[in-house]
Amino acid sequence: MQICSIPLHHPDETLYSFAARLRRANAARDDRDACRSMFGHASNMRVSEFPVNLASFCHATKGLLGSPDQLLSQMTLVPLFERLGAWPWRKGSTPRPAAIAGYGLSILSNGNTRTWHTCKQCLREDRSHNPYGYWRRTHQLPGVLFCPTHHVLLLACTDLSRQFHNRFILPDETKFEKAFHRIDTAANEDALLRLGRLSVAVLKDDSDFLDAKTKQAVIGQELDSHALLSPRGTVCREAFVPSFLRSFNFLRHHPDFSDAVSCRGVEILCRSLDDPRIWRRSLHQLLLLSWLFGSWEAFKSQCQWHQVMNNGSCKVNLHAEGNLRQTPEVNCAPDFHRAKCIDFMSTTNPSRSKFAHAEAKSFRWLLNHDADWFNQQCPPNRTRDFQRRLF
């Protein structure tokens, strides 16, 4: 496809939508050929999943839309994923920049290849000013179920995802239906609006990115304040799961949330909280932040307060056991671990094995670096070696 005409970029338009209008404004053999002209050559034959190279896209559009980084921030959901620290793709051990990594077109625009949402009032306004409507970023955000402009429920596309594999499709060319069938939206309107406002606030936030360890520490502190952590610092399933489902179980009938709020989905969330190295989906992160903090501003202010108060003197345990509790940097000193042992030995029926379960890190440190003192305070339960008596 030879690009001779470049349409204007509409406010909040997705990269997929602009590429579809760019293809309509220029002659091409087919939509796959148009993708190769815009994003570079690739063997992928699905239009909606075509690998995106924004460097090639900027070269094809002569840089009129800005740099690759500007396109990522203005036409994709990458800013949302970066700020949440949760991506819909596996970045691998040596991640490449999202602008040239070759992620799918609909993944960058919608966050997945299945859901396509629109607002009937927005679509009506688009048709009054333009030949056809376009896909908006805020309508595709995970957790956004109401149009931020008109405050009406979004409509879900009923076409099969394989139809998007063959050609570009704009909202005028497809059919929509209400995604809420068995959900009482009136009774849960506050929770839905709060979730949507949080997702939009994350996307439009232009401040510096929060450190991953700081976010993990603040979430761990909030879970601990709600008594949702076990003595080992892992998530207490008996308290976490009922409380989480009590807030979001009404979403189990919605196709976008059914997997996230299922028993299997909540267990995946718990495992990702136990071990920060485990991948966490963006929808889970949004539900968690909405449940614990209520808004993105509240979460961000707590992270900033944490950074100011600790000033690098605290860290989060990121070892294999995934302890979410925050521990001071000076916990390498013998006094800290000795105090843990003394406090535990003052409890009822203390034992060496119970201390190992309750304070695993202090147990290992004392055993490796202060064994003589540890054996005096908490002597091992030595049993007779019956094997030696046989000889």
Selection from 107, 144, 89, 156 nearest residue 290 by Cα = 144
pLDDT in the model for residue 96: 81
- What the block records as the tokens of 214 is 């700081």
Query: What parts of the chain have a pLDDT lower than 50?
Result: 312-322, 327-332, 386
**CA distances in angstroms from 2 to 27, 82, 102, 170, listed in the order given:** 7, 34, 22, 21
pLDDT in the model for residue 144: 92
Separation CA 72–CA 93 (nearest Å): 22
DSSP states along 10-58: PTTB-HHHHHHHHHHTS--SSHHHHHHHHH---S---STTPBP-HHHHH
Write down the pTM of the prediction: 0.77
| Residues contacting 162, CB < 8 A, separation 6+ | none
pLDDT in the model for residue 340: 84
CA contacts within 13 A on the Cβ side of 251: 26
Q: What's the first-to-final CA gap in the chain, in angstroms?
A: 89
Separation CA 318–CA 301 (nearest Å): 23
pLDDT in the model for residue 118: 93
pLDDT in the model for residue 330: 39
pLDDT in the model for residue 50: 93
What's 229's DSSP letter? Answer: B
pLDDT in the model for residue 319: 41
Separation CA 316–CA 149 (nearest Å): 40
**Do 120 and 152 contact (CB within 8 A), yes or no?**
yes
What does the radius of gyration of the chain's CA atoms come to, in whole angstroms?
A: 26
pLDDT in the model for residue 296: 95
Separation CA 340–CA 293 (nearest Å): 31
What's 146's DSSP letter? Answer: B
- What the block records as the tokens of 147 is 């149009």
**Do 48 and 16 contact (CB within 8 A), yes or no?**
yes
